[in-house]
A and B are shown apart, each in its own frame.
Chain A
């Protein structure tokens, strides 16, 4: 599974978002994911990837596609 797909899967499964509204060009803020929710998402992504990647640079206005790139580059 790609990093983007992992993010999209968790936004749907854990955060209850409609898969139809999730796309790489949308920001977390667009989807109602605030800064605390982002920390929770980072916890889940770290656990799934088994990494200690620093995700603190991902902000609510980061798009899902940008976030996936940032995580992959840092890994």
Chain B
């Protein structure tokens, strides 16, 4: 069995897994006006609180927010798993993280210098602080991990795909420990403007907290966010040898592609449904064994409708569903990892956080969506489902440890 033995979370709901989990259980949205987005059609976002405290100031100058968040989450997860980087065999420790857009946080300023011919004002770090592979590279540098080290990119599903690949590295015997998850910050001007031009974002400028409404009759798009989640994966006995009780087992994982459209999901959720079926088969479970689905639930018209169809294809009687994005928005490459971590927390605590802002469910979405308040639920297995631009889907199945 492959265990989730440590968790680290840095999200708009809080710094640390405990703070994040407590806020998610309240279902209180975190979106507010964002001064960095002044003058844009969508000028609100969900942001990490107390960002400046995440890593020591020394060395931070060369890191963008998605790396800073990932470093903090990785340190938390390693400590949580009671791992001592001084003791582990570094070549047996991998780092696999997911990121969708890389970091566009500071490209705009660089482009402006380039366009104006001010080449001597361009930063030598413009590339290294922005490219996706530097997230696992910086984690390895900070912690001394010398095994396989790379980034997986499947847009909004990146974090889940990374976790699934990390699981393969354990199963194949390549690694004893994999530090995995996802990180992203899309609350900067380029992604804010571009996602708006796609029509993907909620435009409720007068009500940022109420903007992200997964499964709601009047949902109008997702809300920009940022964050990181890191999970420690290792074999069950490897964790228990240190006296660590895992949060959950990662029992199955599967990825598919709709091969239908470059941005929109398959309207019937075919690709997502087949990933779900494959992941459950791998876990040796039937649909009736699943007690909860932590949905992708972005709050866009198309995603939530397609996800509903996918769930209806797989489950005759779908279990209780939630989307965390109503509370913390959409952190693209980080969100699936955040959701995977919270699915493991739901199994440990036997409780499902509510979907924020869901006062009027879409009548065409026939699902038991947890809303209003957290719900206690007895469950031995739970599913985390994620879909992406490009039609890529990854589904993870967790089992109670």
Enumerate B38-62 residues with CB–CB distance to A below 8 Å: 56-62
Measured between beta carbons, the chain B residues less than 8 angstroms from A70 are: none
The 9 closest A-B pairs by CB, nearest first: A16-B57, A16-B58, A39-B124, A36-B124, A14-B61, A15-B61, A43-B121, A43-B123, A40-B124
In the complex, number of A-B residue pairs with CB atoms less than 8 Å apart: 33
Q: Which residues of B contact A (CB under 8 A)?
A: 56-62, 120-125
Measured between beta carbons, the chain B residues less than 8 angstroms from A14 are: 61
Q: A43-B120, A46-B120 are in contact. Are A16 and B125 (CB under 8 A)?
A: no
Number of interface residues of A (CB under 8 A): 14
Q: Is the interface of B mostly helix, strand, loop or mixed?
A: loop
CA distance A43 to B119 in the complex (A): 10
Contact of B59 among A16, A36, A42, A43 (CB under 8 A): A16
CA distance A46 to B123 in the complex (A): 12
CA distance A70 to B399 in the complex (A): 64
Residue in chain B with minimal CB distance to A41:
B61
A-B residue pairs in contact (CB < 8 Å), sample of 11 = A14-B61, A15-B58, A15-B61, A16-B61, A17-B58, A36-B62, A40-B125, A42-B120, A43-B122, A46-B120, A46-B121
CA distance A17 to B61 in the complex (A): 11
Residue in chain A with minimal CB distance to B55:
A16
Nearest CB of chain A from residue B324's CB, rounded to whole Å: 33
Measured between beta carbons, the chain B residues less than 8 angstroms from A42 are: 120
B60, B120, B121, B122 — which one has the most chain A CB atoms within 10 A of its CB?
Answer: B120
CA distance A46 to B118 in the complex (A): 11
